[in-house]
Amino acid sequence: MTSLPDISVCVATYRRPRGLERLLESLTRQKLRPGASFELVVVDNDAEGSAAPVLDCFAERLPLRAFSEPRRNIAHARNLALERARGRWLAFVDDDEQAHEGWLAAYLSRIEAGEDADGWLGPVLPRLEQPGPEWLPVERFFGRPRPQSGSQVALAQLCTSNACLRRRLLEVRRFDPGLGRSGGSDTELFGRLLRAGACFRWCDEAVVSESIPPSRHRLAWLLQRAFRGGVVTTQLDRARLGSGSALALRAPRALAGLAACGCALPLAALRGRAGAATALLRASTQAGHLWALAGGGYEEYRGDVVEGGGTVDAAARPSRDC
């Protein structure tokens, strides 16, 4: 009887064949101790099956199992990966990332050491596909916090772009499809896990890199991302606390934050374009909070995804709940 893999690597992909190819190539280079094993579960969220040629190329190079989820919704795709995964631990990585060769080994080392954690998170390092403009420092605008290895991770840092969780945590829990078009379904799920008593820690040795295409080297894209972050955060607050409590919690902070950003903008502009952009991004986040409090939404995955550019910018737009 074939033994189950130690880790199932779960990937949801949608119309990013070159990104998926880079990710799978990186997974062929994983260095595990003798006897350790992993499987790769890829769910193509494109009804037209655009990932099939790439998956066929790696079918004999990786312990790969591929599935199709034609309903365009990242939560549905991730949930199908959960249902098909067989590993004792479930690792998540995005289709625009590449895993460093010691990625899975680092997670397994923490797991086998018996440390008290229900899941581990690792760093996602930004990597520009082409040089960006001088005013756009990579770490400042695309970097993420990097806590000390072994420390507990707060909800704001929990996401599925680089994570490894105990399978039993997700035996009955699933990603919410209601958030599968706006984004935030991973944050919402992690929030439920935290409230149920789960503990997540940082594994700084489990590194992946995220490809940043030229289409994101623009202030408009950064403002859109900040606005979306504000919308999703407040939508999650509304779902958990109720509209009235979320309004009382967020509205004063958002209004005060927006006013402070407006006052700070002239001074920030004196520090150059990067300083002005930082102030505008903070203002955009506060505007997103207020939009969500007013009943607005945001559909990040509304349009097609183009290779190298993520979601088409014109298709990702605010929406108003009826």
288 with 230: CB under 8 angstroms? yes
- pTM comes to 0.86
Pairs from 192-196 (Cβ < 8 Å, separation ≥ 24)? 193/118, 193/119, 193/169, 194/155, 194/158
Distance CA 183, CA 125 (A): 21
Q: Which domains does the chain have, with CATH numbers?
A: 7-212 (3.90.550.10), 218-320 (no CATH)
User: Which of 15, 312, 298 shows the shortest CA–CA distance to 180?
Assistant: 298
- Helix, strand, coil percentages for the chain (3-state, nearest 5): 45, 20, 35
DSSP string, 133-169: -TT--HHHHH------TT-B--GGG--TTEEEEEGGG
Greatest extent of the chain over all pairs of C-alpha atoms, in Å = 68
Considering Cα of 87, then 157, then 132, then 298, what sign does the dihedral take?
positive
- The pLDDT tens digits of the residues spanning 39-77 come to 999 999 999 999 999 999 999 999 999 999 999 999 999
Distance CA 264, CA 53 (A): 51
- The pLDDT tens digits of the residues spanning 75-105 come to 999 999 999 999 999 999 999 999 999 999 9
- Give me the residues of the chain with pLDDT under 70, please: 1-2, 241, 243, 246-247, 265, 267-270, 300-322
Q: At 231, is the secondary structure helix, strand, or coil?
A: helix
User: How close are the terminal C-alpha atoms of the chain, in Å?
Assistant: 54
